[in-house]
């Protein structure tokens, strides 16, 4: 699978249920290869493997994923923590079988770069900040998708 990374989580750890007293590490990212299709990728493993993998690429990089395991996603549970994708599957990376290679998008496919800036939600499913300010009372308690632009970033 070749795609551009459009989202990425931080590395997290959890107690290992099989080896009491040790921890397993994970992080997720989302790749896109067309305007319509994108998929979540989950990786689990030893701390050294997961940290090295996470640090090997960033959002906006093009990646090639070799030998991922394809799994059905548990939509209700997984979409709380990851972008909602049009696929009913996710990719799972394993330390022993999977490989992630990065390459500049212009070397892979210049069309992938334009995918980085496309929204992952239906364009009709957004509220603007102006809508929220104007209709705040009627929207109270609802979960909304917001479409906004970052004007500046500072300390």
What's the confidence (pLDDT) of residue 137? Answer: 82
pLDDT tens for 110-138 read 777 778 777 777 777 788 888 888 887 88
pLDDT greater than 90 at residue 69:
yes
Question: Any idea where the domains of the chain sit in the sequence?
Answer: 2-115
Q: What is the CATH number of domain 2-115?
A: 2.40.50.140
Q: Please give the model's pTM, rounded to 2 decimal places.
A: 0.78
Alpha-helical regions (H) of the chain: 47-55, 75-78, 105-108, 110-115, 129-134, 136-139
Counting runs of H as helices and runs of E as strands, what totals does the chain give? 6, 8
């Amino acid at each position: 699978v070749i795609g551009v990374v459009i989202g990425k989580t931080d590395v997290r750890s959890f107690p290992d249920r099989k080896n009491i007293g040790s921890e397993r590490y994970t992080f997720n990212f989302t790749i896109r290869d067309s305007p319509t299709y994108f998929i979540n990728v989950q990786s689990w493993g030893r701390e050294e493997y997961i940290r090295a993998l996470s640090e090997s690429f960033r959002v906006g990089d093009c990646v090639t994923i070799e030998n991922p395991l394809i799994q059905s996603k548990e939509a209700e549970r997984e979409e709380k923590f990851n972008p909602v994708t049009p696929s009913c599957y996710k990719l799972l990376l394993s330390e022993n079988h999977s490989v992630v290679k990065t390459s500049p998008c212009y070397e892979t496919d210049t069309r992938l770069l334009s995918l980085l800036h496309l929204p992952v939600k239906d364009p009709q499913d957004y509220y603007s900040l102006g809508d929220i300010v104007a209709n705040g009372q009627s929207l109270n308690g609802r979960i909304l998708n917001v479409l906004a632009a970052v004007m500046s970033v500072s300390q």
